[in-house]
């Protein structure tokens, strides 16, 4: 069987460009993940497709970064598919990898493209973190929020680090419970992002 797979990272992006690329292909089933990152293979439609793969099947993608943006994930995936007897066709590269009939140059090109996709993902993430740090340094937080919200966020972090309870911090900041927990959640998420 021939399966086509497409992915977009956000719900705002459209899958149309990838669907158009599959127009001239005879395929048995299509799988599309919308709003799914390429950082790992934990995607519902992708996993559904993988569960259906059998010896002799072919997976078609428009570009390799739609399949994976991780060299390690791609290497593991391709090794699994080779053992299963599943082929991979990448339309943008005009390459098909077929188990038992591997072409060293084709595998090399695909691995370079996955590495480039991984690098691109890392650079995007780095720019996001740098942008957040610059915004906070200028007194603006997420979405250009007011300086007093940024100050409340900083005070919350300091008070929690000092061991104050949520109720005590909420009263000292003079904010509602909803606002407090929203700010607390954002602070925790930012700390996770900045330490990764």
Q: Hey, which residues are catalytic here?
A: 9
CA–CA gap between residue 63 and residue 109 (Å, rounded): 12
- The token pair that represents 60 in the structure block: 């078609």
- The token pair that represents 7 in the structure block: 């992915």
The angle at the Cα of 59, spanning 53 to 62, to the nearest 5 degrees, equals: 155
The angle at the Cα of 65, spanning 62 to 70, to the nearest 5 degrees, equals: 150
| φ/ψ bin of 174: left (φ > 0), alpha (ψ from -120 to 50), beta (otherwise) | left
- The token pair that represents 29 in the structure block: 């089933």
Residue carrying structure tokens 């993902």:
121
For the chain, the residue count is 196
């Amino acid at each position: 069987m021939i399966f086509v797979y497409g992915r977009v990272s956000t719900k705002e992006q459209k899958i149309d460009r990838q669907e158009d690329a599959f127009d001239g292909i005879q395929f048995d089933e299509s799988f599309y993940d919308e709003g799914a990152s390429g950082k790992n293979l934990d995607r519902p439609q992708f996993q559904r497709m993988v569960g259906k793969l059998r010896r002799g099947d072919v997976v078609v993608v428009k570009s390799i970064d739609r399949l994976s943006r991780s060299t390690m994930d791609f290497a593991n995936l391709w090794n699994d598919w080779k053992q299963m007897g599943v082929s991979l066709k990448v339309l943008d590269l005009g390459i098909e990898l077929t188990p038992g009939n591997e072409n060293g140059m084709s595998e090399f090109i695909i691995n370079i493209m996955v590495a480039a996709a991984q690098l691109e993902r890392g650079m995007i993430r780095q720019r996001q973190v740098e942008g957040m740090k610059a915004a906070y340094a200028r007194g603006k937080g997420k979405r250009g929020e007011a300086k007093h919200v940024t100050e409340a966020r900083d005070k919350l972090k300091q008070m929690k680090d000092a061991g104050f309870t949520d109720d005590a911090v909420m009263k000292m900041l003079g904010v509602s419970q909803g606002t407090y927990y929203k700010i607390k959640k954002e602070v925790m998420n930012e700390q996770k992002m900045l330490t990764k």
